[in-house]
Chains A and B, each alone.
Chain A
Amino acid sequence: MTAARAAGYAALVAVAVAAPFVLPQYQSQLALLWVMVVLALSWDIVGGQMGYNSFGNIVFFGIGVYATAVVQRDLFFDIDEYAHAAGGVASQLAPLEYLGGLALGLVLGALLAVLAAAVLGAGILRLRGHYFAICTLGLGIAMGEIAGGTDYIGAGSGLVTPLFPELLGERNRFFYFYFMLLAFTCFGVLGAVYRCRFGLALNAIRDNEDKAEAMGLRTTRYKTIAWCLSAVFLALAGGAYGNFIGFVDPVDTAFAGPTLGVWMILMAIMGGRGTLWGPVLGAMIFHVSREFLWTYLLGWDRMILGLLTVLIVLFLPLGILGWLRGRTAGRAAAAGVKPSAAESRPSSSTSQPPLSESQP
Chain B
Amino acid sequence: MSALLRVSEVSKSFGGVTANRALSLSVDAGAIAGLIGPNGSGKTTLFNCIVGRHPVDSGSVVFDGREIRHRTVPQIARLGLLRTFQQTRVYGAMDCVQNMQISAPQRDAENARQKLFRKVPAAVTEKAESLLEFAGLYEKRRLRAGELSFGQQKLLEFAMALMNEPKMLLLDEPTAGINPTLINGIMERLLRANAELGITLLVIEHNMRVIMNLAQHIYCLAHGSLLAAGTPQEVREDPRVLSAYLGAQ
Is B150 in the interface zone, CB < 8 Å from A?
yes
Is B98 in the interface zone, CB < 8 Å from A?
yes
A217 touches B73 (CB 8 A): no
Q: Which of B82, B115, B149, B182 contacts A345, CB < 8 Å?
A: B149
Task: Output the least CB separation between B51 and chain A (Å).
Answer: 7
Q: How would residues 108 to 125 of chain B score, 1 for a CB under 8 Å from any chain A CB and 0 otherwise?
A: 010010011111100000
Task: Compute how far the CA of A353 lies from the CA of B154 in the bound complex, rounded to whole angstroms.
Answer: 11
A339 touches B91 (CB 8 A): no
A216 touches B93 (CB 8 A): no
A352 touches B150 (CB 8 A): yes
A217-B74 contact, Cβ under 8 Å, with A203-B94, A339-B148, A343-B182: yes
Q: Chain A: which residue is nearest B139 at the CB level?
A: A340
Q: Which of A217, A351, A353 contacts B102, CB < 8 Å?
A: A217
Q: Chain B: which residue is nearest A196 at the CB level?
A: B117
B102 touches A356 (CB 8 A): no
A213 touches B73 (CB 8 A): yes
Given A203-B93, A216-B78, A346-B150, 16 new contacts (CB under 8 A): A197-B101, A197-B120, A207-B145, A211-B90, A213-B74, A214-B85, A218-B112, A225-B116, A339-B140, A342-B149, A342-B152, A343-B152, A344-B149, A346-B176, A346-B178, A356-B146
Residues on A lying within 8 angstroms of B by beta carbon are 193, 195-198, 200-201, 203-204, 206-208, 210-219, 222, 225, 274, 339-346, 348, 351-356, 359
Residues on B lying within 8 angstroms of A by beta carbon are 51, 53, 72-75, 77-78, 82-83, 85, 87-94, 98, 101-103, 105-107, 109, 112, 115-120, 139-140, 143, 145-153, 160, 164, 176-179, 182
**Among all A-B residue pairs, the 5 with the closest Cβ atoms:** A216-B77, A346-B177, A207-B91, A211-B89, A353-B87
What are 17 contact pairs spanning A and B, CB under 8 A?
A195-B119, A196-B116, A210-B89, A211-B91, A213-B74, A215-B77, A339-B147, A344-B179, A345-B150, A346-B151, A348-B177, A353-B150, A355-B90, A355-B92, A355-B146, A356-B146, A359-B87
